[in-house]
Amino acid sequence: MRPKQERIFYLLQALLCILVCLSLAAGAVGIYARGTGEGGEGDGREEIYTREKAAAALILPGALAVLLFLHSLLKPLIAPGSVPRVGKRERISRPPEAVRPFGGRTGAVRAVLIALGAGLIVYGIADGSMRDVLVKAIHICTECIGLG
Amino acid sequence: MGRAAEFLRAHRPTTRRLAQLYCALLYNAHLKGFPEGSIYTGAAKAVCVPGLNCYSCPGAVGACPLGAMQNALASAGTRSGAYVFGILMLFGVMLGRTVCGWLCPVGLFQELLHRIPTPKLQKSRITRGLSLVKYLILALFAVALPLWYALKEGVPVPAFCKYICPAGTFEGAAALLSSPRNDGLFAMLGTLFTRKWVILSVIVLSCVFCWRAFCRFVCPLGAIYSLFSSLAVIGVRVDESKCTRCGACVRACGMDVKRVGDRECIHCGECMSHCAEGAISIKCGRITLRGAEGARGADRAPEKGKGKRAGRIVRGILTAFLLFAVLWFNVLSPGGVEEASAPARSWESSAPVGSDEGMQPADFTVSLVGGGAFHLADARGRVTVINLWATWCGPCVEELPVFSDFQTAHPDACVLAIHSPDIIVEEDVVAFTEKNSALNVLFAMGEGAKEAYAAVGGGLILPQTAVLNARGEVVYNQPGRMTAKQLEELYERAKTETGP
C-alpha cells in the first residue's frame, strides 16, 4: 500500500473509532435515561444504580475505543519508508532490519500508555474494582481448580 | 573440595534461573498455607503479580492478572474493571514478554520439564502457525465467554480458568487436595476436574518434548503481553550497527521468533551468547542491563567496579525483601478477613454446638434483603436449608434456581441464602435479587451474616450448603454444588432422621 493510501486507511480507521465511541456514549446515555424514567418514587437507589451502571458500561468499552483511536492516530505518523519490506529472495531465517514502528516516537507512546495505565489503576481503586479483585482472590475459586 | 567447587561453579544457576526461582517463591510466600491447606486472605491479594500464578494456590500472596481480568469482564455491567486493565497495561508497557522469560513461575516449570532428556520437537512453520492459537484462546476463553455470560446470563464465568488453566489444577487443586484438612473437597470432584487433569497432563507432557509449549501455544497472558512487544521498556535489543543479519539468534531461539524482540520473543537473552558480533543486549530504555556476550574480539567489557557494587546492592535488597516477605506472610501478617466467633446458642439442646453433622449450629439473626430479619431459632420445627453464596461466584449463582424450585415444592421447609460477608457490596446483592425476583428464596446479607457464617462453619469455599432437621441439628454441611436430587434426598433424611 502506498503511503498516501496508508494515511487514508488509518484516518478512516480513526473515524470509525470516533463513531464507535459516539454510539457507545449514546447507548450509555440511553441506559441512564431509561433507568431514571423507570425509577420508583421515594427510593433514590434506582437513580444511583442506573447512573453507576451507565458509567460502568461506558468506561470499559470507551477505554478500549480510546486505545484503538490513539493507535489509529499514531499510525499515520510513521515516516514513509521506515518499515522495510523483506524481499522475495531473502530467506525467512534472516532477520529483517530492525523495525521502528513509531518512527522514533516510542518514548511518547510509552509515556501516554503508562499515564493511561496509572490513571486506570487510580480510577479502579476509587471505583471499587480493586476491591473486587481482593474479594475474589481471598476465596478459593472452585471453578478455577476444577472442583465447581 | 576443589572439584566440588569447580562442579558447582560450572553448574551454578544463571541469573535468569535465579530470577525465576525468586519470583516463584515471592508469589507463593505464604508457605504455611501448604501444610494447613488454606489460602492467604490478606490485603496483599488485591495486588496482581505479573506472571501466571493461581490465587487459589495455598501459597499465593497476590492475585493472578489473567484470573482478575476474567473476573473484571465477568462483572461487566456493574463495574468497570479499570484496575485490572491498568495493571495489565503497566506490566505490558514496562516489561512486555520479559515477564514470560524472567518472572513467570509457569515458565520456570516448563523449562525444568524440558530438561528431561527425550527427543525434542523442533520449531517449524507449523509451530509458528500454532503460536497464533493463544490469541484465539485469549479472544474466546479469556474475553468473549466471560463477557457473554456476564451480559446475557448474569453468571460470572472465568472461562479460561475454569476450562483450561493448568496452573489452577496444579497449584490450586493438587496443593489443596494434598492437605488432610481438605478431605471434604474430594466430594466435589467430577467431570470438570477430570477434564482439567487431562489438560494438565497433556500440557506437562508437551512441555517435556516441546520447549515452553504452554507459553507458545496456549497462554493468553503471554498473548496480552506480546501486544506490547514493540513498546516494552525492558527487553532484548539488537544493535543494528553490529548486526550482520546472519540469523544465528533466530535459529538458536527456542521460541517461534522471526526476529529478536518480536511478539514471540520472551526476552530471555539466551540468543546473546549465540551472536558472534555482540549485537544483542538486554536494555531498560537506553540503559544496558546485560551486555553482549560471546562477542568476537574485545567487545566483551569486563564488569566495572561500580557496576559490580551496584549489582551486589541490588541482590542484597532483593534477598532482604524476599526474606521479609516470607516472614511477613507466614508469621507477622495480621491475616485477612475477620472471622467472627460463633455466639452462644440461645436455646436448650442435647446436641453439642457446632457445624458438623449431628451438631447444632449456634443461633443467629441475620438481616434480609428488602427488610426484616431471619432468626434461626424461629425456624425450629421445619427443615432448614442454609446456602452460603456470593454474586461473584458462578457456581453459586447457577445453583440458586435449584433451591428456589425446592422451596416451591416444599413450602414447609425454609430456604435461606446468605451472601458472603467479606467486603460485600450491598448494591450488587440488591441488584441481583431485584433482577432475579422470581427466585423463591430468602436472601440475607449484612448484619449478622458473619455470625451466621461462623455458626455453619462457612469458610473460603463457596457455595456451601447446610441442611438442618426440625430440631435444628445438622444433617448435611458441605461445600460444593447441590443438585435437585441431592436436596430431595437430604430433605427426606432430615424429616425422618435425627442426624448421625
> Cβ separation of B247 and A59 shorter than 8 Å?
no
pLDDT in tens, B123-139: 988 999 999 999 999 99
Chain A residues close to B430, C-beta within 8 Å: 45
φ, ψ of residue B371 in degrees (nearest 5): 110, 160
Q: Do A138 and B76 touch (CB under 8 A)?
A: no
- Cβ neighbours of A120 in B, within 8 Å: 82-83, 85-86, 89
Is-contact B358 B470, C-beta < 8 A? no
* Residue type at A58 in one-letter notation: L
pLDDT for res A87: 42
Under 8 Å between Cβ of A145 and B169: yes
Range with top average pLDDT, A56-70, B61-75, B320-334: B61-75
Please confirm whether the linkage preceding A61 is cis (ω < 30° from 0). Answer: no
Q: Residue A45's pLDDT is what?
A: 43
Residues B383, B475: Cα–Cα separation, whole Å: 10
Q: How far is CA B490 from the centre of its chain?
A: 33
- Show the DSSP H helices in B28-158 as ranges: 33-36, 65-74, 82-94, 98, 105-114, 125-130, 133-137, 145-148
Q: Which residue has the higher pLDDT, B306 or A66?
A: A66
Mean pLDDT of B32-39: 87
Is the model's pLDDT at B15 over the cut of 60?
yes
Q: Is B326's pLDDT higher than 80?
A: yes
pLDDT at position A35: 54
Per-residue confidence (pLDDT) for residue B300, from 0 to 100: 41
Three-class HEC string of A44-88: CHHHHHHHHHHHHHHHHHHHHHHHHHHHHHHHHHCCCCCCCCCCC
Nearest residue in chain B measured CA to CA from A143: B162
C-alpha distance from residue B40 to each of B32, B37, B63, B330, B424 (Å): 9, 10, 11, 9, 18
Chain A hits for B249, CB-CB cut-off 8 Å, are 95
CB contact under 8 Å between A137 and B63, yes or no, is yes
Which residues, in sequence order, are CB contacts of A64 under 8 Å at separation 6+? none
What ipTM does this complex have?
Answer: 0.79
Distance from CA of A84 to the nearest CA of B (A): 13
| Structural contact between residues A132 and B172, judged by C-beta atoms closer than 8 angstroms | no
DSSP B263: T
Q: Residues B471, B345: contact at Cβ < 8 Å?
A: no
Tell me whether residues A142 and B193 touch, CB distance under 8 A: no
CB contact under 8 A, B90 and A118: yes
Asked if residue B342 has pLDDT above 50, the reply is no
Mean pLDDT of B54-58: 91
Q: How far, in Å, are A101, B16, B93, B282, B324 from residue B285 at the CA level?
A: 16, 19, 11, 9, 30
Residue B498 is predicted with a pLDDT of 47
Task: Give the pLDDT score at B25.
Answer: 94
pLDDT at A99 over 90: no
Q: Which positions in chain B touch A140 (Cβ < 8 Å)?
A: 39, 56, 172, 176, 460-461
Instruction: Give B228 or B155, the one with higher predicted confidence.
Output: B228
Share the mean pLDDT of chain A: 66
- Greater model confidence, B219 or A141: B219
Say if residues B82 and B75 touch (Cβ distance below 8 Å).
Answer: no
Q: Look at B71 and A133 and tell me if their CB atoms are within 8 Å.
A: yes
Mean pLDDT of B375-403: 90
pTM summary value:
0.73
Nearest chain B residue to A60, by CA = B80
Average pLDDT over residues A64-83: 60
- Name B114's bridge partners: none
Indicate the residue of B46, B60, B77 with minimum beta-carbon distance to A130: B46
Residue B234's closest CA among B103, B62, B83, B82? B103
Residue of chain B minimizing CA distance to A132: B72
Chain A residues lying within 8 Å of B461, measured CB to CB = 139-140, 142
Q: Look up residue B150 and give its three cell numbers.
A: 456476564
Q: What is the mean pLDDT of residues B470-479?
A: 89
Residues of A in contact with B88 (CB under 8 A): 117
Closest residue of chain A to B252, computed from CA coordinates: A93
Per-residue confidence (pLDDT) for residue A28, from 0 to 100: 58
Instruction: Report CA dihedral (B89, B76, A132, A39) to the nearest 10 degrees.
Output: 140
Per-residue confidence (pLDDT) for residue A60, from 0 to 100:
65
Q: What is the DSSP letter of B353?
A: B
Give the residue-averaged pLDDT of A30-59: 53
Does the pLDDT value for residue A22 go beyond 80? Answer: no
Confidence of residue A44 (pLDDT cuts 50, 70, 90): very low
The helix (run of H) or strand (run of E) holding residue A11 is helix A3-38
- Considering only CB atoms, A114 lies closest to which of B88, B90, B247, namely B90
CB–CB of A141 and B251 under 8 A? no
In angstroms, the Cα distances linking B436 to B147, B172, B262, B419, B451 are 19, 32, 48, 15, 26
Q: Which of B162, B193, B461 sits opposite A140 (nearest CB)?
A: B461
Mean per-residue pLDDT over chain B, rounded: 85
The minimal CB distance from A144 to the residues B165, B245, B249 is found for B165
**pLDDT tens track for A102-131:** 556 788 889 999 999 999 999 988 888 888
Q: Inter-chain contact B86–A55, Cβ cutoff 8 Å?
A: no
- In this model, does residue A85 exceed pLDDT 60? no
pLDDT for B336: 58
Q: Which of the residue ranges A3-12, B276-285, B400-409 would you say has the lowest mean pLDDT?
A: A3-12
Instruction: Check A136 against B392: CB less than 8 A apart.
Output: yes
The residue of chain A nearest to residue B233, with distances taken between CA atoms, is A110
A43 has a pLDDT exceeding 70: no
Residue B345, CB-side half-sphere exposure with 13 Å CA sphere: 20
> A45 vs B430: CB contact, 8 Å cut-off?
yes
Q: For residues B23 and B107, is the Cβ–Cβ distance under 8 A? A: no
Contacts of A56 in chain B (CB under 8 A): 76-80
**DSSP 8-state symbol, B391:** T
pLDDT in tens, B212-251: 999 999 999 999 999 998 889 999 999 888 888 888 999 9
Please report residues of B whose CB lies closer than 8 A to that of A92.
258
In terms of pLDDT, which residue wins out, A128 or B269? B269
Query: A142 vs B480: CB contact, 8 Å cut-off?
Result: yes
Cβ of A148 within 8 Å of Cβ of B192? The answer is yes
Q: Cβ–Cβ of A143/B162 closer than 8 Å?
A: yes
A146/B77 touch (CB, cutoff 8 Å), yes or no: no
Q: Are A134 and B45 a contacting pair at CB < 8 A?
A: yes
Find the range with the poorest average confidence among A79-88, B174-183, B393-402, B420-429.
Answer: A79-88
Q: Are A84 and A97 in contact (CB under 8 A)?
A: yes
Mean pLDDT of A90-95: 44
Shortest Cα distance, chain B CAs vs residue A86, angstroms: 12
Average pLDDT over residues A72-83: 53
Q: Is B290 left (phi over 0), alpha (psi -120 to 50) or beta?
A: beta
B22 has pLDDT over 90: yes
pLDDT at A11 over 60: yes
Calculate how close chain A gets to B481, using CA atoms only, in Å: 7
Looking at residues B76-87, what average pLDDT do you find? 84
Tell me what pLDDT residue A76 has.
Answer: 58
Task: Report the alpha-carbon distance of residue B394 to residue B150 in Å, rounded.
Answer: 10
Helix (H, G, I), strand (E, B) or coil at B96: coil
Single out the residue of B146, B117, B107 nearest to residue B16, CA to CA. Answer: B107
CB contact under 8 A, B83 and A92: no
Asked if the model's pLDDT at residue B493 lies above 70, the reply is yes
Q: Which residues of B touch A143 (CB under 8 A)?
A: 157-158, 161-162, 192, 394-395
| Pick among B54, B75, B79, B277 to test the A interface (most A CBs inside 10 A) | B79
On the question of pLDDT at B62 being above 70, the answer is: yes
* C-alpha distance from B363 to closest chain A C-alpha (Å): 25
Across the interface, do B173 and A94 touch by the CB < 8 Å criterion? no
Q: Do B54 and A113 touch (CB under 8 A)?
A: no
Residue B48 has pLDDT above 60, yes or no: yes
CA distance B258 to chain A (A): 7
HSE (CB half, 13 Å, CA atoms) of B348?
A: 0
Is B86 in contact with A118 (Cβ distance < 8 A)? yes
Which residue is it, cell 436472601? B443
pLDDT of B61:
93
